Amino acid sequence: MSDTIFSGFSTVKYEGPTTENPLAYRWYDPDKVVLGKPLRDHLRFAVAYWHSLALTGTDPFGGPTIHRPWMDPGDPIAQAKVKADAAFELFRTLDLPFFCFHDADIAPPGDTLADTLRNFHAIVDYLGEKMQSYPTRLLWGTANMFSHPRFMAGASTNPDPDVFAWCAATVKNCMDATKQLGGSNYVLWGGREGYETLLNTNMKQEFEQMGRFLTLVVEYKHKIGFQGQILIEPKPKEPTSHQYDFDCATVYGFLKRFGLENEVRVNLEANHATLAGHTFEHEIATASSFGIFGSLDINRGDPLLGWDTDQFPNDLWSMTMSMYHVIKAGGLTQGGCNFDAKVRRQSFTPEDLVCAHVGGADLCARAFCTAAKIIEDGKYDALLAKRYAGWQAPEAQAMLSGKRSLDAIEEKALADNLNPQPRSGRQEEIENLLMRSIYTDRI
Ligand code: XLS
Ligand code: CA
Ligand code: CA
């Protein structure tokens, strides 16, 4: 392996909140034990190959601003290996335990399906070799079925069955590769699974195709004995105006419709929650209450732009409440925190990329530690429990468990001469309590 653009960086270390070093962790101390295990194992941070290695800085108004050596002209397979060498040196620099990739991020396309798959497997084997000498593991693999023009009308929902078949072959190979590299999850984000105009769209037909596709994926998972989770990533819009996997609740309805609610979970992204008109914590709490919480894509949008800007996160309040709901959901288990985030187009140096991940990891770590303290302290949970305490009474439990009919409830309500009085929601008291934990208390 020759020198890479990240080889000169020392490995980022935890130096504590008072350090002046911009390339040190202030809050992310991977060995710090919280709720019985080290932060490294709670947060399971991952670096996204697409944003960190493939980004060129283009936007709708301007060309590339970020140039890396593997983007120079040359033999595409050799260049993909230069990129992989740099990727593993970036992972080493950041000392983050996982990475994620799309097939198209790691390997060049060929002229045919067979050539494309051959290139892909050659680089998957190369990543496997790299993983022998680096500690970085694979959080998830996925397929890019949205960039090439053949996917312009969707992947599994395409009106052309040949595109469906191309996608089936692609996902089969990406699942094989994910298993080969010991991946913990396989993600499906419905890139162009949606529509731009209903005028040319048969929605019922497209739902059938998408349900069949996901069923095939689940069947194949069992066939090859893949132990990872299958995850759908909701997103409401962009690139299409109407994405079918709008949000977590919509995905749950889709899973129920095809009988897959015990087989598939969700990978939730902060920016996608914002685009759906929700908060990140809303999406996590929804997944948790349906029992389908899987993994997180960490980033933020820009509320002033309303695009999927995939910026690195910096909102401590939202991240703390998100981590609170993650802990309540039972933690990330096989999932993780994938930085699906990119530096801005003026941040074109390798150092900018390292710095961005350092800030993101610090924010998540601080948020997680505060959320753990909020839970250990118990005051917030006690306020919530008190609000619903009436439901512990035997008659309330009987109503909830289906032991009372509508007319039986009416009969008792009349006999008891019910006249419920308004009770305060205590919102400001709760906000003040949490504000103290988030902004004042030491972690
Ligand atoms: C795009 C998505 C994508 C998925 C993986 O908006 O976030 O990057 O995470 O295909
Ligand atoms: Ca994502
Ligand atoms: Ca996104």
**Atom 3 of ligand 1 has which residue's CA nearest to it?**
189
Q: Tell me the mean pLDDT in the region 161-169.
A: 98
Measured in Å, residue 167 CA sits from the centre of ligand 3 at: 21
What pLDDT shows up at residue 1?
65
Measured in Å, residue 135 CA sits from the centre of ligand 1 at: 25
Known catalytic residue: 42? Answer: no
Phi, psi of 93 (to 5 degrees): -60, -45
**Atom 5 of ligand 1 has which residue's CA nearest to it?**
189
**Atom 4 of ligand 1 has which residue's CA nearest to it?**
189
Residues 378, 232: Cα–Cα separation, whole Å: 33
Both tokens of residue 232? 């759908």
Q: In terms of DSSP bridges, do strands 229-233 and 185-189 run parallel, antiparallel, or are they unpaired?
A: parallel
Under the banding of pLDDT at 50, 70 and 90, the label for residue 350 is very high
Contact residues for 88 (Cβ-Cβ < 8 A; gap 6+): 130, 134, 136
Mean pLDDT of the residues in the chain = 97
Measured in Å, residue 189 CA sits from the centre of ligand 1 at: 6
pLDDT tens across 178-207, in order? Answer: 999 999 999 999 999 999 999 999 999 999
pLDDT tens across 286-302, in order? Answer: 999 999 999 999 999 99
Residues by chain with Cβ below 5 Å of ion ligand 3: 271, 308, 310
What pLDDT shows up at residue 227?
98
pLDDT at 277 > cutoff 80 = yes
pLDDT at 303 > cutoff 90 = no
Q: Tell me the mean pLDDT in the region 104-114.
A: 98
**Atom 6 of ligand 1 has which residue's CA nearest to it?**
308
The 3-class SS string of the chain reads: CCCCCCCCCCCCCECCCCCCCCCCECCCCCCCEECCEEHHHHHCEEEEHHHHHCCCCCECCECCCCCCHHHCCCCHHHHHHHHHHHHHHHHHHHCCCEEEEEHHHHCCCCCCHHHHHHHHHHHHHHHHHHHHHCCCEEEEEECCCCCCHHHCCCCCCCCCHHHHHHHHHHHHHHHHHHHHCCCCEEEEECCCCEECCHHHCCHHHHHHHHHHHHHHHHHHHHHHCCCCEEEEECCCCCCCCEECCCCHHHHHHHHHHCCCCCCEEEEEEHHHHHHCCCCHHHHHHHHHHHCCEEEEEECECCCCCCCCCCECCCCHHHHHHHHHHHHHCCCCCCCCEEECCCCCCCCCCHHHHHHHHHHHHHHHHHHHHHHHHHHHHCHHHHHHHHHCHHHHCHHHHHHHCCCCCHHHHHHHHHHCCCCCCCCCCCHHHHHHHHHHHHHHCCC
pLDDT at 443 > cutoff 90 = no
Q: What are the sequence ranges of the domains in the chain?
A: 33-377, 380-438
Measured in Å, residue 417 CA sits from the centre of ligand 2 at: 53
Amino acid occupying residue 226: F
pLDDT at 306 > cutoff 90 = no
Q: Tell which CATH architecture fits domain 33-377.
A: Alpha-Beta Barrel (3.20)
CA of 297, nearest ligand number: 2
Under the banding of pLDDT at 50, 70 and 90, the label for residue 417 is very high
**Atom 8 of ligand 1 has which residue's CA nearest to it?**
340
Under the banding of pLDDT at 50, 70 and 90, the label for residue 361 is very high
pTM, whole model, 2 decimals?
0.97
Both tokens of residue 406? 């509508």
The answer to whether the CB of 39 falls within 8 A of the CB of 327 is no
pLDDT at 122 > cutoff 80 = yes
Ligand 1 atom nearest the C-alpha of 144 is 10
What pLDDT shows up at residue 421?
98
Contact residues for 62 (Cβ-Cβ < 8 A; gap 6+): 345
The answer to whether the CB of 181 falls within 8 A of the CB of 132 is no
pLDDT at 375 > cutoff 90 = yes
Measured in Å, residue 268 CA sits from the centre of ligand 1 at: 10
**Residue 220 half-sphere exposure toward CB, CA atoms < 13 A:** 19
pLDDT tens across 57-102, in order? Answer: 999 899 999 999 999 999 999 999 999 999 999 999 999 999 999 9
User: In testing the pocket of ligand 1, which one of 146, 240, 272, 340 has its CB within 8 Å of the most ligand atoms?
Assistant: 340
Under the banding of pLDDT at 50, 70 and 90, the label for residue 366 is very high
Pocket of ligand 1 (CB under 6 A): 102, 142, 187, 189, 233, 235, 269, 297, 308, 340
Both tokens of residue 239? 């690139």
Phi, psi of 49 (to 5 degrees): -60, -40
Q: Rounded to 10 degrees, what is the CA torsion of 305, 306, 309, 314?
A: 80
Question: One of 102, 272, 278, 357 is an active-site residue; which one?
Answer: 102
Measured in Å, residue 333 CA sits from the centre of ligand 2 at: 19
Ligand 1 atom nearest the C-alpha of 189 is 10
Q: Tell me the mean pLDDT in the region 8-20.
A: 98
Question: One of 95, 105, 176, 297 is an active-site residue; which one?
Answer: 105
Share of the chain above pLDDT 90, in %: 97
Residues 265, 231: Cα–Cα separation, whole Å: 5
**Atom 7 of ligand 1 has which residue's CA nearest to it?**
340
pLDDT at 307 > cutoff 90 = no
